[in-house]
Every structure is written in C-alpha cells, then in structure tokens.
Amino acid sequence: MSNKDLNAATSSFREHPPSTYSIKFENLRQLDDKYESRLFAAGGYNWRLVIYPKGNTKDEGSGFISMYVEIDSKNLMTTPLTQVYAYLIFFVYNKKTDKYFTIKGLYIIHIYNAGHILVQNIYIVNTFTSLCLYSSTINTYNVFTVIDTNVKRFNALRKGDHCEFGVDFLVAPPLTNWEVVSFDQKHPNFKFSWTLKKFTELEEYLYASNRFSIAGREWGNTHAEGKWVSMFLRLIDSKGLNADERIYILARGRLLDPHGSNHIDRKLKIWYTKENKGYGWSKFGRLDKIRKAYLDKEGSLKVEIEIVVKQQREFLPIGQSRREEEALESEGILLGLGFTYATTSQNFWSERPHSSYSLKIQNLAQLIGEKYQSRRFLVDDYNWRLIIYPKGNEKDNGSGFISMFVEIDSTTEALAYLTFFVYNKKVNKYFCFQDTEVKRFNALKKVWGVSQMLPVEIFNDPKNGYIFDEDQCEFGVDVMLDYPLTNWEVVSFNDKLHFPKFSWSVKHFTTLRDKVYVSNNFSVGGKTWVLKLYPKCFSTSSDDKWISICLHLAYNERLIKDERIYTRGHLRVLDPFGDDHITEKFNSWHDGSNSGCGCDKIVSVAKLREDYMDEVDTLSLEIEFDVVSATNYSPTS
C-alpha cells in the first residue's frame, strides 16, 4: 500500500501523554536495528511496542521512523474466532513544541485458534509528511505498522540524544448496552372518551376515569372542580418502569362541545418516569363556561384524550449480549457530505458498530422536544448518557445539524476519547466522528460532543440512507477511558563504558578435550558476563576444524521478566607475534533465555595452530564492548 492510496486526513499534536505504554531512549543512535519493548497488557491481551529508529527496510520503511504494535501469540484465546476492536494512537514526543505528535487508527483484529490472525484496517490517517499502515495474515503474530516522520527531521527535534515514543491501545469491548426508542403512531386505542354524568351535581374534589391501555401501559384520566376544571393524564402502572426508563407522550386533551365542534383543545408533550407519573392541565377550562356551553341535555360532560405519539423504549437486559443482526445489502456508495472539521477531529466510515452504547429510534420526526437523552450506561465505573439533538443544538452552533453529546454522571474527573456513530443503511456502514484530542470530564464540564455531526437536510432525506425502514435511525457512541500512565521503560544505550575490554588466556589449548570452556566472570555496563570457548565448534560438535567464541550473561546474573540487554562490540583472537588480530563484530539482544551471541566459526583450528598460538600453547582472546544498554521499568509491572 502506498501513501497515495491512503485517505487524506491530518495527524495532530497533543499535550496529553500516552496512557498505555511509554518508552524513553537515551543515545538511541547506538541502536542499529529495532527495539522491542517488554510485554504490556491491554484489552485482555499482551502486546509489544516495536520501534525501528532507522526504518524497517523489509516493509518499505527505509529513511523513516517505523513503529509497530505486536500481539503476543503465546497467550491467544483458544476460541474459534475472536474479534478485537482497537484504537491505536502512536506518539512521538517533540521537545520543541513540548507536545506529542500522534497518529490515530481504528482496527478490527480477527484472532483464530492455533495462533492464526487476520487484521483488517478500518481507518487510517495520513500524516503531514508520510504515513504507511500495513496489515497482513501471519501464522504466529501480526503487527500494525506506522512509518512516520523523516529521520532527518526527527533527529533535529530531539534534545541531545534523548527521545520518547509511546502508544495508547484502547480496546473496545462488545456492545452490551442499547435501547430501542419508538415514537409510535400506529398504536391501538389511540383515543379514550369519558362521560361525566350529572356534572353540576358532582361534589368530590377529584374524579378518576376507568383505566385504559395504550401500547401495553395502563393510564387514567382525572378531573377536579373549582373555578377551573383540571385534567391530568396519569400513568397507573409506573411501578413497572425501570429506574431509567422514560415514556414520551404527545397527547391532546379535549372537552367536547355537545352542540357543535367548538371543543376546548389542549396539547400535552411530556416524559413520564417512575417518579413523575402524572401530568396535565391545572386550568383546562373555566367552570362557568363549561356549565354554560359544554354540558349536554342530561347535564353530562364528555372528556376525550387522544394519544398522538407514544414513545416506547426497549432496553438490553443486564447480563445479555446484543443479538447479531442480519447483514443488510448495500445499495450503492454515498458521496462525500461536502463539509469539513477542524484538525483535532476526523470523520470516516466504519463497518464495525459502536461498543459503548447504541440507540435506535423509530419515527424520530415525532419528537417535538429539542433533545433526546438515553438512559444511563456504565463504562469503566462511570455512568454516562448519550444526548441527541435531531434538529441541532442551537446553543452550541448546531442549528441545521444533527448534534450528539455524551454527559458524565459524576463529579470525578475522567479523561476519555469519544467516537460518535450514525448508521447508514444505503452503504451498510456507520458514519463516524472521532475527536483526536482526549476530553476532560469534571464537575465544571460534564458534557462533550459534536454540535455539527450531520446536516439535518442530508440526514432526513431517505435517499441518503440515514432514515430507513419507515422512519428508523440508529445512533451510537464509543467512550474510551484514558488513564494515567503506569507502564513505561527508560532505555539507555551507554557508549561510554568504564573498562570495556576483557582478556582471557586459554592455556594448553591443543590438549583441551571438553566441549566448552567458560572464562571467569567480568563486569561491563552494570552486568556480569562470561565468555564461552568451543574448541570443536558450537553448531556442529563433530566439526573439529573451527572454534567458536560466545558471550553470555553470567550464571548468577538474573534478569527480571521481559528484560532485555543490547550489546554491540568486537570479539578478537589476538596475534601473539604482532597486530594481525582476527576481529568479528557482534550485535545482539540478551534476555532470560541467555542464549548468548558470538561467532560460530571465528577461526579454523589449522590457522589457529599455525599463527595464533604462543610458544607455551596459549590462546589469547579479547572482547571489547562498544555499547551496553540499561533499562529502568515502571514498578507496577
């Protein structure tokens, strides 16, 4: 994939540091190849951050900084198929601006058993210089590649030889919170009439009608006397409502004119809840006027309630997962919308649904109020609400647009990335708005969102695909919490070593019979080492024509889990009669396996006996270190 194939968008600078993993380097130029971090956990899996400071030449990264995230295939789940949705944000610190240059991507990872992984890139962001992201199918592991930032420019941004990289790995869990809202115009029993006989003889303060049913709920109509007639619509079975359940009613109450069509007509639009179960009109009509003009020949008053719209919400039962829906057939491609956002946000299309909360609304046009608020839903110990303005939030410059916001139900500070979704049936994808800046929720700022998600004109036109199946639509949100950084490492490549050389004299070499000989311990770069000599070659024990020399950590040197030490230097077989030494370079990482590094065939036995043995049959070996790394890790790991 070349840069010209990528979607045009901008990367961003941000002040907030990474929260998943951070690596700081000292003297990074001493590293020739790549650096692999220790394992860190995110979303139930273990990962590594992999950095090529001079570019991954095998992945078209020559001349660029290359950054990867790699999954640990040793601990993959054994289920037949696992899907992992992840937001990846790569960081490079810029001392000049005191901010982090970031690149953000959204991925879907299919993990099969037997360690087989397929990665599908959903969204990629082009940078202001050059960016390539790759995904592939690999039997043991898979990496996400971000190649970014020209090396010359990167070197110019560093202070001394210090630099910092990081990654935020935010895994989206499966969707378990949703609601379906129906503003129903097709319910049975949409009218209820009540005749109060001998109205002038009524003496009680309050009279209640018989119960009547609308869309599965029991309701009652009440009437009181005084100077005014009052009428209220009361939800009888409010105890059956869930804690956050609300019922929207658009109704018309009437006192019917028995002699003509001059009815007293009042409109009611209200949300019924478990606590607030009765609403209406305290002054529906003057009593003297009703007695004069609205009683029939028998002195009866006829009252009518008409339910114009009844909203019904269906919630996901706690502990259940959302049922998978049939894939809808795509009917074509929707062209661009023709409006843009600021560089701190980006919009894109996604096949994957939202994971934090889903809201389906039927007959949205019947919502007369300015906004709709979902019930509370839980994300990482915080309660949230999704708020939809179908005609725009005018107070936030959203007039003429669909506006979407998230509100936190807490005064505790929380940092979160927000992604808003609107489903489009025409393309069978979700139009998404993602803010690249983390949002800070607290007691002073509880609501964040996007005031101009989609133009109302485009959204309301069924030809565009956002309104479908008799006035249905779907919204959603991902709330990804960003926590303080607890996993980090500081890596120093030390090229100014005290006593970087160690010499070893092996006496009576021609009489040696064992497979391997070990030198005394010696210390370089804060670690203890040994040299190992194989008089008959390490790789092939039957091959006695070559000798091998290897560098190992000493047996008493214990590394912590996932600790790795980088070494670079030279191994030498010294010329006892001059300066014609045999020199071989070594460049290797040492870990807990202590497999060592060195030269398998550094010199043939024949040449050794001819030119490199002194008069008393002594072989002189030397190692010189150029670089030894040291790493400090966060204490929580």
Residues 156 and 49 in one domain: yes
Weakest-pLDDT range from 79-83, 262-266, 304-308: 79-83
pLDDT score for 83: 60
Report which of 94, 15, 90, 85 is spatially closest to residue 52, judged by C-alpha positions: 90
For residue 390, the domain's CATH number is: 2.60.210.10
Residues 112 and 241 in one domain: no
Is residue 327 included in any domain, yes or no? no
Is residue 321 included in any domain, yes or no? no
State the Cα angle at 92 between 89 and 95, rounded to 5°. Answer: 140
Is the CA virtual torsion 183, 186, 189, 194 positive or negative? positive
Residues 449 and 473 in one domain: yes
Residues 465 and 359 in one domain: yes
Residues 159 and 195 in one domain: no
Among the candidates 112, 137, 172, a domain finishes at 172
Is residue 246 included in any domain, yes or no? yes
Would you put residue 236 in left (φ > 0), alpha (ψ -120 to 50) or beta? Answer: alpha
Weakest-pLDDT range from 331-345, 347-361, 488-502, 564-578: 331-345
Is residue 256 included in any domain, yes or no? yes
Residues 188 and 148 in one domain: no
Is residue 537 included in any domain, yes or no? yes
Beta bridge partners of 111: 82, 117
Residues 93 and 130 in one domain: yes
The answer for residues whose C-beta is within 8 angstroms of residue 386's C-beta and 6 or more apart is: 357, 359, 373, 374, 377, 404, 405, 406, 475, 476, 477
pTM of the model: 0.61
Residues 19 and 144 in one domain: yes
Mean pLDDT of 208-213: 72
Among the candidates 315, 349, 369, a domain finishes at 315
Residues 28 and 134 in one domain: yes
Residue 219 identity: W
Residues 15 and 133 in one domain: yes
Residues 150 and 94 in one domain: yes
Number of other CB atoms surrounding residue 219 within 10 Å: 25
Residues spanned by the domain of 77 = 3-172
Mean pLDDT of 464-470: 89
Count of structural domains within the chain: 4
In 58-178, alpha helices (H): 151-157
Residues 193 and 309 in one domain: yes
Among the candidates 137, 172, 207, a domain finishes at 172
Is residue 608 included in any domain, yes or no? yes
Residues 330-374 pLDDT 10s: 222 232 233 333 346 677 888 888 888 999 988 877 776 678 889
Is residue 238 included in any domain, yes or no? yes
Residues 389-401 pLDDT 10s: 988 999 988 888 9
For residue 19, name the pLDDT band (cuts at 50, 70, 90): confident
Is residue 628 included in any domain, yes or no? yes
